[in-house]
Amino acid sequence: MEKEIYTLRDPHTIACSSVRVENGVPVRRFKKEIARLGKYVQKKKGMSFEITELALNNWVAQFNAMKQNGVKVPIPKGVAHVVDNPEHNHGWVDDIFREGDSLFCSCDIIGEDSIELAMKSDVSLYSPPDYTDGKGNQYQRPITHVALTMYPTIPGLSGFEEVAASLYQEEKAMDPKKIAEALGLETSENEVTEEMILNGITELNTKVQESQQSVEAAEAKAAEASKKAEETIAASLEGYKPDPLLVKTVGENRKMKIETLHQAGKVTTHVRDLLVDAFVGDDLALALANPATDKFDAIVKAIGENDMIELREQTGPQVLELANAAAKSKSDGLLVKNAEERAAKSNG
C-alpha cells in the first residue's frame, strides 16, 4: 500500500509526531549508536572485554551477509530469552554501519507504544560466537538482536535519532562499495564485485575465528598454569606439620596483638573473641604451613588504622551519660559535706 503520514494521538510523548503507516500500523525510522571502540566490563558476568576495529568491521560484514540471506535482526525488550516471543519485539534493524569509532544501526520501530518506549531506552547488542540460519549459512560473531534496556553494557551511547521521512520513502539496494570499505578492501568504483565481497567476508570470518581461538588458547594456558601452581604448593605441604612449640608461640603472640587492639578501643569484646577463634584456633597450624594464604597481619594492620573518632561518635550518648553521672556524684558529695558541717555547728 502507499505510504502515508500518520499523526500520533499524543504527539508530546515522543520527539516527533510524523510517522509513516504500513498496513495500518505506525512505523518510524531511527538511527542509533549501538557500540563504540573501547574496553568495558560486563557486571553481571564479571567479565571484561574490548571492542576493536576488527569487531566493528566484522559486525558490519556479518549483518550485510545475513541481510542478503533474508535473516532479520529484531529489537526486543529485555534479555535474550524473550527474543522468540513476538509480543516482546518492537522493531527491526534495517542497516548496521560505522561512523568513525562508533557502530550505528538504522532501525524501524513499530507501533505507538514501541516508539514511546524507544525514547525511554538505551540498547545492548547480543553477539553470539557463531550462528547458523535456516538455510545452513554460518556466521561468526554476528549481531542477532539489539535489545532495548535501561542498563546498557556500553555506557554513553547516543540516543535514538529520528531519520527524516524523505530518507526512507524508497528502499535502496546495498551499496557494494560501502560493503567493501567496511571489509577494509582496497577498491575503486569499478573494481567491486560480488566475488570480491564474498572473499573479503570469508577472510574476515577466518580472522575472527583465529582471534577467538587465540583468546581461548590463552585462557586455557592461564588456567593450566594456575592449576599446576596449586598442585605444586599442595605437594610441597603434603605431610608437613609445624613444630607444636612454634604453633603455641605464634598463637600467644597473635592473642597479644588482638588484645592490644581491644585495649586500644579498636574492636569490641565480641569482635576480639571472633578474631581469636579465627586466627588462633585449629586452623593456625594449617596457616603456618601455607603462609601465602594467611591474612592475619594484614587484617590486624587494617584494624589498627581504624579511625577511633567513629567509635567515639557511636558511643557518644553513653559517654555523655557517664559524664553527667560523674557530675551528679560530685554534687551529691558536696551536699553531704555541707550537711555534716551544719550538723557539727549545731552540736557545738
Percent of the chain at pLDDT above 70?
Answer: 68
Claim: this prediction has a pTM higher than 0.95? no
Percent of the chain at pLDDT above 90?
Answer: 24
For 195-223, the pLDDT digits (tens) are 777 777 878 778 878 887 888 888 888 88
Residue 1 has pLDDT above 50, yes or no: no
Q: What is the β-pairing status of strands 145-149 and 122-126?
A: antiparallel
- Give the start-to-end residue ranges of the domains of the chain: 4-174, 180-238, 244-310, 315-347
What is the rounded CA–CA span in Å between residue 181 and residue 177? Answer: 6
For 68-113, the pLDDT digits (tens) are 999 999 999 876 545 667 778 899 999 999 999 999 999 999 999 9
Per-residue pLDDT, 157: 93
Residue 182 has pLDDT above 50, yes or no: yes
Per-residue pLDDT, 318: 36
Residue 10's Cβ-count burial label (10 Å; 0-12, 13-18, 19+) is exposed
Q: Phi, psi at residue 105, to the nearest 5°?
A: -130, 150
- CATH for the stretch 4-174: 3.20.16
What value, to the nearest 5°, has the Cα angle with vertex 292 and ends 287 and 295?
A: 65
Distance of CA 225 to the CA centre of its chain: 27
The per-residue pLDDT of the chain, averaged, comes to 75
Confidence band (pLDDT; 50, 70, 90) for 336? low
Q: Residue 158's beta-bridge partner residues?
A: none
Confidence band (pLDDT; 50, 70, 90) for 245? confident
Per-residue pLDDT, 15: 38
